[in-house]
Amino acid sequence: MTQTICDLLKNAATRSPDSRAIEDTNGPKWTYADFSKAVESAKAVLDTHGVAAGDRVLIITENCAAAVAFVFACSQQGAWAVPVNARQTSHEIDRVLNHATPRLVVCASLTSPETQAHAQRLGATPVDGAFGQVSVATPCPSSPAVEDGVAVLLYTTGTTGQPKGVMLTHDNLIFAGQASAHIRQIAPSDIVYGALPMTHVFGLASMIMASVTATATIRLEARFSAQKLFDALRTGVTVLPAVPQMHALLMQYTRENGHEHLKDSALRYVSSGAAPLDPVWKRKAEDFYGIALQNGYGMTESTAGIASTSNTIGDPDISVGHPLAGVEVSIDQTVPGGGDGIGEVLTRGPHVMRGYYLNPDETTKTLDTDGWLHTGDLGRIDDSGCLHILGRSKELIIHGGFNVYPPEVEAALNDHPNVVQSAVIGRPTSSNDEEILAFVQEDNSGDLTVDDLRDFIRPRLTGYKLPARIILTKALPAAPTGKILKHKLLDTFTAELGDA
């Protein structure tokens, strides 16, 4: 390792000390010189509490300038930043605490009631500095890790049992920031909208690291709301990294307020990740924004980036594009659901994690001896070399002996004008088959019925792909990123499903 992520900031501050670095909508506005001072101030807090190289520093936060400063301060100290979203429950936070055993806990974004509650429960005390105010605590014994070069430890969303801490190195994050800045052509004049949680790899790599790499401005939003995003797009934001749910909720909000298209916007680049696209929805989004919608694919273990598109507006391509420069992708057709060009997506390159912290067995299952990361996603590569994602291999539904890929069913449901988004899963039956269950978030019109939706999708799907049950709802369980948590659907809608 020749560089750290803090070197990215030092380079930016040297080049453009007076350029705007961070606009925290609930806090300060920093130049790159201010940003550097805040990091030095945060490092002093780490020094005071004896944080050394290899120690973990748990940062409980929502998007805020102080949390960003502590991530970079950990880098300067050789410590590992462990960002965790403050909206997690005490039980979830404690699982990470017990696994990561941090030397120090930093509760940032103190405007958040959830962060304040965690700070109080952990006995954290307030500390002021150039970063603003945080609260710190030392709730558990700790010892330095022996792994070299790790910058950030991210715990994957929706894990069960023992938490999986993904070790991302400085090299991983620097590569991801450079790749993201390049594919988006981010320039110092850009304002990147930061509503994706920085506690998630998409926000950390494609939002924070990319912006610092390009000496651009990050406008941090603690929590996503369609209204705030709508206002931001009319006040200078030029780059919008997002997930499909954010786009869907923005378009719904805009329609309900009498607008069909985005107007008076400086937006020049908009992307979608974390879920597959369907062509009808893509056309709607491009018509709304007035620019091309770029798609991409990645995961925590690949520091977000594996592939990305560079399409023009109106291009019908719904792939996730070509692999990023320096990234290899292969398809393993020997897995269940594989064959005829379809298989598990494997990837190799400078974006692949070091491994899972204190979990060599899971690391060995995921990283093979040739350096390939087994993603668990089913995909195929078309004749032009573009990667298409068909869904998680574990989410493949085998119904009546046929393979059913949930994204295809979801695409048909999402085409309905009164559907905001949907999630499709399989559930085993007593006859050793799987039934298809669809959970559909409807808009606020009150016009949608299950029968109408069935009539709508019947011409769009082969009979064996039609859902056995459709549940209409106003909200689906989601992670802070907006990604639907499919593993929570059955428990969330137990009453609606009943015994049928």
147 and 83 in a single domain? The answer is yes
The long-range contacts involving 453-460, CB below 8 angstroms and separated by at least 24 positions, are 453/413, 453/416, 453/419, 456/415, 456/416, 457/409, 457/412, 457/413, 457/416, 460/412, 460/415
21 and 114 in a single domain? The answer is yes
Of 303, 385, 310, give the one whose Cα is nearest residue 350.
303
Q: In this structure, is residue 266 part of a structural domain?
A: yes
| Concatenated DSSP letters of 397-423 | EEETTEEE-HHHHHHHHHTSTTEEEEE
Strands (E), 217-334: 217-220, 239-242, 269-272, 293-297, 307-308, 322-323, 328-332
Q: What share of the chain in percent tops pLDDT 70? A: 96
Based on its alpha-carbon atoms, the radius of gyration of the chain, rounded to whole angstroms, reads 22
Instruction: List the domain range (segments joined by +) for residue 487.
Output: 396-497
Q: Is the pLDDT of residue 201 over 80?
A: yes
Which residues, in sequence order, are CB contacts of 490 under 8 Å at separation 6+?
A: 425, 427, 497
Amino acid found at 137: A
Q: How far apart are CA 178 and CA 185, in angstroms?
A: 10
Q: What CATH number did the domain enclosing 446 receive?
A: 3.30.300.30
Could you give the number of structural domains in the chain? 3
17 and 98 in a single domain? The answer is yes
Whose tokens are 């430890």? That residue is 153
Q: In this structure, is residue 204 part of a structural domain?
A: no
491 and 410 in a single domain? The answer is yes
Q: In this structure, is residue 321 part of a structural domain?
A: yes
305 and 442 in a single domain? The answer is no
Q: Is the pLDDT of residue 499 over 60?
A: no
165 and 49 in a single domain? The answer is yes
Q: What CATH number did the domain enclosing 310 receive?
A: 3.40.50.12780
384 and 278 in a single domain? The answer is yes
pLDDT in tens, 153-178: 999 854 344 679 999 999 999 999 99
41 and 163 in a single domain? The answer is yes
259 and 302 in a single domain? The answer is yes
pLDDT in tens, 67-107: 999 999 999 999 999 999 998 888 889 989 999 999 999 99
Q: In this structure, is residue 257 part of a structural domain?
A: yes
Stretch (H or E) spanning 348: strand 343-348
What the block records as the tokens of 421 is: 């988004």
pLDDT in tens, 405-443: 788 888 889 889 999 999 999 888 876 678 999 999 999
339 and 404 in a single domain? The answer is no
Q: How far apart are CA 435 and CA 410, in angstroms?
A: 15
- Chain-centroid distance of CA 89 in Å reads 19
Q: In this structure, is residue 143 part of a structural domain?
A: yes
Whose tokens are 């029968």? That residue is 451
Looking at residue 432, its pLDDT comes to: 62
Q: In this structure, is residue 90 part of a structural domain?
A: yes
Q: What share of the chain in percent tops pLDDT 90? A: 69
Stretch (H or E) spanning 24: strand 20-24
Looking at residue 150, its pLDDT comes to: 97
388 and 400 in a single domain? The answer is no
